[in-house]
Structure 1
Amino acid sequence: MQAPEILGGRYQLGRVLGRGGMAEVREAWDKRLGRPVAVKLLYPAVSLQPDTRRRFATEARAAAALNHPHVVAVHDTGVHDGRHYIVLERLPGQNLADVLARNGPLPADHVRAIMRDVLSALSAAHSCGVLHRDIKPANILFTEFGGVKIADFGVAKSPDTPQTLTNRVFGTMAYLPADRIAGRPATPSDDLYALGVVAYEALTARRAYPQENLTDLADAIAAGALAPLSTLRPDVDPALVTTIERAMARDPRWRFVTAEQMRASLEAPAPAPRRAGAVLAAGAILLVLVLAGLLVAV
């Protein structure tokens, strides 16, 4: 029987939870503190690339510096047999992509709650000069209490990101605005745009831009070839629809500038109580009848 792999003399590795282009995530057990964790481990070949190692270090520092209830916590980082790793908080729930694939569209109130949590995290990140740059369903993880936390700051931009990396286009194209794909420098508005795309997907269980070919995808995003959310989900309240559509606007001047601005837009004005409306309507009718009576009397 093969002995379990131990990182740094402390973290006993378990099964693979997920794989990406430069790293895999493994479940693990922290032997020192007796708790479950997740370990993001660079692939051996990737660990030899200086740019990738810098991005990995940026991810660890950016997430650790935030210390926010809606950001997956970073516990430790290190190197084992030449492979760089980050030790992360282990969440019991699935990510949003898994939930949508299994359950289909989410109720509007649930999507609004997810957006509030993500916007809270983005507000904290942006105030520290950190841009996530890869907000998408797979990077939104559910907690055991139903809230969400954002994960994977692997392509984040922070104040200490090397200047040679700041103007490169990182992220997942389906969640990037056309002007960013064209090479415009990243801004906080890009994270908010991506959240709008995520919310659209959460309400419809379909990608806003489903094209698989990257050229076709870029063309569709540039053209704004998007099925109206109000048509796909006529039950969704106007405040939520308007917020999502504004976040995803083709013209960057129409998009939200800050997370606080987008969060304020989420809250729909309270409708007038039906009873009060009925009283006002009855009063109006009574007034009309009284006036009619006066005219007849005259």
Structure 2
Amino acid sequence: MENSNRETILFYKEIKPLTDKRNGPMLVRKHSTEELLVRKCYPLYLEEHLVTLQKIKHAHLPKIEELIVQDGKLWLYEEFVQGRTLNEVIQSSGILETEQILTLAMAVLEALGALHNKGLVHRDVKPGNIILTNEGNIKLIDFDAVRTVDGEKESDTVQLGTMGFAAPEQFGFAESDERSDLYSLGVVMNICSVKEYPKKRLTEDSTLKGIIRKATKLEPRERYQTALEMHLVLRQQLSRKLLAVKQAKKNTVSKKRPIRIYRANWSRTNIWLKNKYVRQFIFTSSHLLKGVSTFFRKYVPGFRTATMWKRVIALFWYVISFGQIIGSIVYQPTGSLRIRELVESLFIFILPVILFTNFLDYQRKFPLLSSENKVYRWIGYGLLVLFWVVITKGGLELNSFIYRSFNQ
């Protein structure tokens, strides 16, 4: 093993190279656990990105076991994912069914969402980097092109990506971000459907066509803006597709039954649902609930993540804050005192939620808060705390002054 690390030799045994490339991925076995891992060599400038990646634990991403720096190189040991690449599946099986494409894309979006939440962009989403495991899972692999989103650069410092799958901005037209990965996934979906790039031949599948067209727009602002937004659309389309298939099967079975048996199976509930006002109420209520759910998952801090404990803490905080605000207002004897208490509660309870939970992704626009350097980010958060203290103190004093002026 060239430029071997002595510590690595003690803990890992080389099995075989996985490609013919020099310093390419090597299959190794860990002595202590007999676990098979893949060793890869990365440039040192990716160290901070890969350290961030190592902290992400997700079902659709390979687990990173260890990072070792030796002789100016960065060695990464990650989970050995056994299965076939999507590229191999397409070559051997032909095009995929619509339901398979939607399910696969949703899994990749969940992996991308986990990366994007940590400020990372994959930048090389393609069939060769998507693995269908022997257990039926889907994994997004290969982080050679990963980078963090700066938000202030005119273009990427290092221009990487696979021709045909990479978004236009990855070739120097602008800085790549989360929407670049969504562009690549749109191309992958089209390849799965018709084995062609969208710009050459867009799929005619009615379920996929609109999704792929939007995902692969040349202008990033015209695409889906987040992995969650695209995931919600795919999930809705998959539900409709499955419902249509189920209904088609039901209609086929119904045609084979005598009419008298079909009528005999009508229940009181079926008859009740025939009322147009009841159906309209159910339709409106379901869409309203879906809209509220989408709003919470997209905008409300604490609910934008799929992590349950974060949602529980957020819910606890909102209940306590709401109770405190309502309680402090209700028990005031006059209207002016109620307004004063409301303003104070907004500064003390609501303002920190907006500032410290990256509401509407505002932190990306501030260099210190969006910096890749941890020291700069800590300085940014320190200044943010100072800003909150100063603005709260000033706001409370101004609120008290206004209250005294109106009550003298």
TM-score of the aligned structures, taking structure 1 as reference length = 0.71
Contact between 2:108 and 2:138, CA under 8 Å: does it hold in 1? yes
Compare the two structures and name the one with the higher helix fraction.
2
Percent of pairs identical after alignment?
A: 23
Partner residue, 2:217: 249
2: CA distance, partners of 1:60 / 1:179 = 23
Q: Which amino acid aligns with 1:226?
A: K
Number of matched residues?
Answer: 242
Corresponding residue for 1:26?
Answer: 26
Q: Distance in 2 between matches of 1:200 and 1:273?
A: 27
Partner of residue 66 from structure 1, selected from 45, 49, 56: 56
The equivalent of 1:54 in structure 2 is 45
* Rounded Cα–Cα distance in structure 2 between residues aligned with 1:164 and 1:154: 21
Match of 2:201 in 1: 227
| 1:266-288 per-position Cα deviation (integer Å, ceiling 9, x unaligned) | 1223449465xx99xxxxxxxxx
Structure with greater strand percent: 1
State the distance in 1 between where 2:224 and 2:123 align: 16
Alpha-carbon contact 2:156-2:170 (below 8 Å) kept:
no
Please identify, of 264-273 and 253-262, the stretch whose mean Cα deviation from structure 2 is larger. Answer: 264-273
Q: What residue is the counterpart of 1:290 in the other structure? A: none
Correspondence 1:203-214 to 2 at 5 A: 203-204=193-194, 206-208=195-197
> 2:48 and 2:161 mapped to 1: Cα distance?
15
Deviates more, 1:175-184 or 1:119-128: 175-184
Describe the shift of the 1:19–1:77 C-alpha distance in structure 2 as closer, same or farther (beyond 3 A).
farther
Letter of the 1:208 partner, please give it.
Y
Deviations 1:137-187 (A, max 9, x none): 111122222221111222211269xx8995432222221223442420111
- SS of corresponding position for 1:175: coil
Work out whether residues 180 and 220 of structure 2, in 8 Å CA contact, stay in contact via their aligned partners in 1.
no
Aligned to 2:383: none
Match of 2:228 in 1: 260
- Distance in 1, Cα, partners of 2:18 & 2:141: 14
Structure 1 residues 60, 114: CA separation in 2 closer, same or farther (over 3 Å shift)? same
What amino acid does structure 1 have at the position aligned with 2:162? T
| TM alignment of 1:187-202, pairs within 5 A | 187-202=177-192
Deviation at 1:194, TM superposition (A): 0.4
CA distance in 1, matches of 2:52, 2:188: 22
The equivalent of 1:12 in structure 2 is 13
Q: 2: CA distance between counterparts of 1:117 and 1:189? A: 17
Q: Is the 8 A contact 2:44 2:72 kept in 1?
A: no
Which letter maps to 2:76? I
Rate the CA distance shift 1:59–1:150 in 2: closer, same or farther, 3 A.
Answer: farther
Check conservation: 1:11, 1:31, Cα contact below 8 A: yes
TM-superposed deviation, 1:104: 2.3
In 1: Cα distance, 2:70 partner to 2:14 partner: 12
Quote the offset at 1:208 in angstroms: 0.8
AA partner of residue 110 (structure 2): S
Letter in 2 for 1:250: L
Alignment of 1:87-102 (within 5 A): 87-102=77-92
Partner of 1:222: none
Deviation at 1:69, TM superposition (A): 1.0
Q: Secondary structure at the match of 1:27?
A: strand
Name the CA shift for 1:151/1:87 in 2 (closer, same or farther; >3 Å).
same
1:84 matched to which residue of 2? 74
Separation in structure 2 between the aligned mates of residue 202 and residue 63 of structure 1, nearest angstrom: 28
Alpha-carbon separation, structure 2, partners of 1:107 and 1:201:
12
In 1, Cα distance between the equivalents of 2:135 and 2:147? 30
1:159-174 aligned at under 5 Å gives the runs 166-174=156-164
* Counterpart code for 2:13: Q
Residues of 2 paired with 1:190 and 1:164: CA distance?
14
> Normalization by structure 2: what TM-score?
0.53
SS in 2 for 1:12: strand
Deviations 1:179-222 (A, max 9, x none): 44242011111000000111111222x3417xxxxxxxxxxxxx
Larger Rg: 2
- Contact in 2 for aligned 1:136/1:175 (Cα 8 Å): yes
Secondary structure of 1:69's counterpart equals coil
Tell me which of 90, 110, 114 is aligned to 1:120: 110
Q: Partners of 1:201 and 1:146 in 2: how far apart?
A: 21
CA drift at 1:23: 4.4
Q: Deviation per CA, 1:87-124, whole angstroms, max 9, x where unpaired? A: 01011102212222232222222211110111011111
**Greater RCO (CA < 8 Å, at least 6 residues apart):** 1
CA RMSD of the aligned region, Å?
Answer: 3.2
Letter in 1 for 2:39: V
Q: Distance in 1 between matches of 2:221 and 2:50?
A: 32
Whole-angstrom distance in 2 between the partners of 1:54 and 1:140? 24
Deviation at 1:128, TM superposition (A): 1.3
